[in-house]
Amino acid sequence: MNLAINGGNPFRSKKLQYGKQTIDESDKQAVMQVLEENAYLTTGPRVVEFEEKVCEFVNTKYGVAVNSGTSALHLALDALNLSNCDEVIVTCISFVASSNAIVYCGAKPVFCDVDPNTMNIDVSKIEPLVNENTRAIVAVDFTGQPCDYHEIRKIADKYDLKIIEDAAHSIGCKISQYPHKPMVGSFADITTFSFHPVKNITTCEGGMCVTNNETYYKKMKAFRAHGIHTDYRERQTKSTHHYEMTELGYNYRIPDLLCALGINQLKRLPQWIEKRQSIAKFYDEKLKLLDKFLTPLTKKYDNAYHIYIIKLKLENLKATRDEIFTALHAEGLGVNVHYMPIHMHPFYKENYQTFEGMMPVAEDCYKRILTLPIFPTMTDQDMQDTVDILSKVLNAYAV
């Protein structure tokens, strides 16, 4: 079969994206209602309502909504009062924000390699990285599968470390393997979410920190608003205009308008997670026919499947991952790659003396991984096309 990249006809005329937001009429009405009320556009009652509803959903006490997932990470790390002599252990496979937030706080990121089967942080490699300067561990729920927080907690308790759960991929995931079936958000000292359009729910851009620690909550809430500890509600209640900035903060506030969208999106999150899981199950079954060329990541715990990743068996292919990537796009399959290991980015090489070869598992995974399309509005035909295009391209490059 002649590949499109070689002049053949593409399998799909319209490219299938790897991810996209799900917006319906009720979302539009929720946003329009805020505009029609013409009362609050920036921080107002919808922000508070969104925080409360997310906390109820994930079973935590406190939530602080912000304008991005990156801002949420910055809030979480700042709450730990890090200094420039402190170190924070962080997975090396994630979006750069997971590490950048450590740098924002003046601390040093210390990269940990990943488990080759799940691509979550390799718990067995955390403890050797701990020293007298270590203050925290940032664990990323890669693809939407929670890390092994039981084991991470043992290490954290042993060395008096804090745990930040970067749950940008995993909101809505319930861990049925645990006896009390907790929801993601209840494992760590602080958990952060992202509401970017391709995430499990969206506020266009946005994020949130959740915690059961009141001290962290108060500090994060002030940090979101220039370091000012009173908000509009407290000033209204006291009938005062007075406020004081007690520490340096940022303007990380999120508009009411966007939180109205988030509130409405949250109502459908469970059904969207079920759809993502059903797509993943379809892939798991169908891709067994291509096991000569690829393998999906291992499912250790329940997974919210923000993304679905395969690893190519390059020894059985006459092409690199990048060549396969280009060929798939030419056929109309919009695969992606998540992610280039953070320590391989020029900024970290230049400023933290990282180098290729220091994280062998992550680097090997990076050469092999592809992200397949997965989002709630995918049709059965979209799912079958994904498998058929993979089959077409991989068989064309078979050794």
The reported pLDDT for the residue numbered 241 is 73
Domains of the chain, each with CATH number or no CATH: 25-265 (3.40.640.10), 267-396 (3.90.1150.10)
pLDDT of residue 374: 98
**Averaged pLDDT, groups of 10, the chain, 399 residues long:** 93 97 97 94 93 96 98 98 98 98 98 98 98 98 95 97 98 82 88 97 98 98 92 67 87 97 98 98 98 95 96 98 98 98 98 97 98 98 98 98
Q: What pLDDT does 234 receive?
A: 66
Beta bridge partners of 301: none
Distance CA 178, CA 174 (A): 9
Q: What own/partner pairs with CB < 8 Å and gap ≥ 24 does 148-154 have?
A: 148/120, 148/123, 148/300, 149/187, 149/188, 151/123, 152/121, 152/123, 152/126, 153/187
Length of the chain in terms of residues written: 399
Strands 108-112 and 308-312: unpaired
Written as six digits, the tokens of 247 are 């520490």
CA 50 to CA 190: how far, in whole Å? 18
pLDDT at residue number 79 = 98
